[in-house]
Amino acid sequence: MLTNIKKNIAQKIITLVENNDKRKKQEKWNIFMSKPNINIHPSFSPKDADIFKGENNQIGNITISENFLLRKYCNIVVFPNAELRIGKGVFFNNYCSINCLDKIEIGNDTIFGEGVRLYDHNHLIEKGEKLFVEKEKYMTSPIKIGKNCWIGSNTVILKGVTIGDNSIIGAGCVIHKSVPENTIMKNSQNLISQTL
C-alpha cells in the first residue's frame, strides 16, 4: 500500500513538472509571437520559440505562411536585418537548418528531406601573404527556392542560389549555382543537370 502511495505521489510530481514546462514553453512562444517582425501563421507546428535564433537576443523578419510543418531537431537562425519567408504547405524533415544573414525565400509546397542546410552567406576571406578567414565578417547573397520543389536529404544550398519552381534536388548535392525550373539535379561526383 505504501508503494502505491509513493507511485501516486511520484506521478503527480511528474505531471506538475510537465505541466509547468508546457506553460513556460507556451509563455515563451507567446512572447516570441508578440514581436512586430514575426508573422507566423497559427497553423505552424510545433510552437517552440527555441527553434528560432538570432544574434544578441535580436532576430530578423520572419514570415511563415499556413501549414508549415517541421519535424524534430530543426534550427532556424535569422540575424537582425535579415528576412526569412516561407510559403504555404512547406515541410522540413528532421535536422534541417536555415542560416539567414540576408534573405531566404521558400515557395509554396516545397519539401525538404532530412538534414537540408541553407546558408545565404560565406565567411569573408582576406588574401595576403596567407589566406585569412574572418570569423565574424560575411559575404551574403539571397537564396530563393521556388514552388513545389523537393530538396533531397543532406543537400546544402549556398548563397546566391535560385532554384526554379517544380525542381528536384537529389540527396547529398551541394548547390552553389542556380537551378532552372522543372529541373532534376543529381549528385554523381559532378552535378548533372537534366531537364524534365
Name the catalytic one among 41, 121, 123, 176. Answer: 123
| 11: enclosing H helix or E strand | helix 2-33
Q: Report the 10 Å Cβ neighbour count for 103.
A: 19
Whether residue 41 lies in the annotated active site: no
Return the C-alpha cell found at 102.
540576408
Inter-residue contact 186 to 171 (CB < 8 Å): no
Q: Report the 10 Å Cβ neighbour count for 53.
A: 14
Beta bridge partners of 88: none
Q: Report the 10 Å Cβ neighbour count for 56.
A: 7
Sequential DSSP letters for 50-84 = GGEE-BTTB--EEEE-TT-EE-TT-EEEE-TT-EE
Q: How far is CA 184 from CA 105, 171, 194, in A?
A: 20, 11, 5
Catalytic residues: 123
